[in-house]
């Protein structure tokens, strides 16, 4: 089915998920939306994140997408359960798949989750994990400075080490053997996190498992693109200016991103009930 897959995030972090889709599903067309005018979502309230996510879903539907991936952990936590009931095309987030992997990986059944304030406060990973296995105990920790540190380029830096040691220090007391990277920016400081947590703690990046779930879902629904020799089409939309997005995307994606395939749109006009 030639219709594109819609992928959205609060900003550029979700490109790590788009990259995984390009790798695992190389024939699929993708429409990516990054809400760069209103980023970040992590410190905002559930109602606001839900309103923003609904506007984005409305926008993606105008692009005739066959399925939607919520590549943002905060939106997956705060908006996905509601939106899932409101639309008739498949929509998946990053949380279930990440939780499933963590469940398979853990031996001690003590799992840690790091993410934004919104994700951790929602306790959605805890609910998901204990539903999969009621013996599991979960400890969550929000890490508000990780996103600004990554965006400032301090990926390998003593300040990032210092902040990470404080955030993660608490988790080390809980004897966890598995840690979910519950925010799309965190895989970019994976090395720092791994060094502090030590070899005995396995890190789970939900992007990989989410894409596997997406593939299964599309296959089950008969929505997979038939293999073709044609190059897939990737389109990108953002709510703020395109320049900054292009420079970040160029560093993350394996393909060319330029002003030709990135457009800025007025996302606020996609409120349900307004004329689009």
- Given the residues 72, 103, 128, 143, select the one marked as catalytic: 72
Closest residue by Cα to residue 178 from 250, 98, 67, 253: 98
One symbol per residue from 217 to 246: x for binding a second copy (CB under 8 A), - otherwise; what is it?
A: ----------------------xxx--x--
Indicate the SS3 state at residue 69: strand
Query: How many whole angstroms from its chain centre is CA 115?
Result: 11
DSSP string, 3-44: SPEEEEESSSTTHHHHHHHHHHSTT--EEEEE-TTT---TTS
**Locate tokens 């996190």: which residue?**
193
177 binds a second copy (CB under 8 A): no
Determine, following the binding rule CB under 8 A, whether residue 144 of this chain makes contact with a second copy. Answer: yes
Point out the catalytic residue in the list 103, 128, 143, 183: 183
Q: Is 184 assigned to a binding site?
A: yes
258: how many CB neighbours lie within 10 A of its CB? 11
Instruction: Supply the minimum distance, in Å, between the C-beta of residue 145 and a second copy.
Output: 6
How far is residue 70's CA from residue 122's CA, in Å, rounded to a whole number? 16
Site for a second copy in 68-127 (CB under 8 A): none
Residue 102 class from Cβ within 10 Å (0-12 exposed, 13-18 middle, 19+ buried)?
Answer: buried
Instruction: Clarify whether 255 is annotated catalytic.
Output: no
Q: Is 41 flagged in the annotation as binding?
A: yes
Q: Is 9 marked as a binding-site residue?
A: yes
Between 13 and 206, name the residue whose CB sits nearer to a second copy: 13
Q: Which residues are annotated as a binding site for substrate?
A: 9-10, 41-42, 73-74, 184-185
Catalog residues that contact a second copy under the rule CB under 8 A: 36-38, 43-45, 47-48, 144-145, 148-149, 151-152, 158-159, 162-163, 239-241, 244, 268, 271
Q: Which residues are identified as catalytic? A: 72, 183
């Amino acid at each position: 089915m030639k219709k594109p897959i819609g992928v959205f995030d609060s900003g550029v972090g979700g490109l790590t998920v788009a990259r995984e889709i390009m790798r695992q599903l190389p024939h699929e067309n993708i429409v990516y939306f990054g809400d760069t005018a209103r980023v970040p979502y992590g410190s905002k309230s559930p109602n606001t994140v839900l309103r923003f996510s609904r506007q984005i879903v409305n926008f993606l539907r105008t692009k005739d997408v066959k399925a939607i991936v919520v590549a943002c952990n905060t939106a997956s936590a705060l908006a996905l359960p509601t939106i899932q009931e409101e639309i008739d095309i498949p929509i998946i987030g990053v949380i279930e798949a990440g939780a499933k992997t963590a469940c398979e990986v853990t031996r001690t059944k003590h799992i840690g989750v790091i993410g934004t304030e919104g994700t951790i406060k929602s306790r959605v990973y805890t609910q998901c994990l204990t539903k999969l296995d009621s013996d599991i105990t979960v400890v969550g920790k929000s890490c508000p400075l990780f996103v600004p540190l990554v965006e400032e380029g301090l990926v390998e830096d003593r300040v990032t080490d210092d902040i990470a040691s404080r955030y993660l220090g608490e988790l080390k007391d809980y004897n966890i053997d598995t840690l979910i990277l519950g925010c799309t920016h965190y895989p970019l400081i994976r090395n720092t996190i791994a060094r502090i947590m030590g070899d005995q703690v396995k890190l789970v990046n939900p992007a990989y498992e989410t894409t596997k779930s997406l593939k299964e879902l599309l296959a089950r629904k008969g929505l997979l693109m038939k293999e073709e020799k044609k190059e897939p089409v990737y389109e990108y939309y953002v709510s703020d200016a395109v320049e900054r997005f292009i420079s970040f995307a160029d560093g993350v994606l394996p393909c060319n991103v330029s002003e030709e395939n990135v457009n800025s749109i007025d996302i606020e006009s996609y409120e349900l009930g307004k004329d689009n």
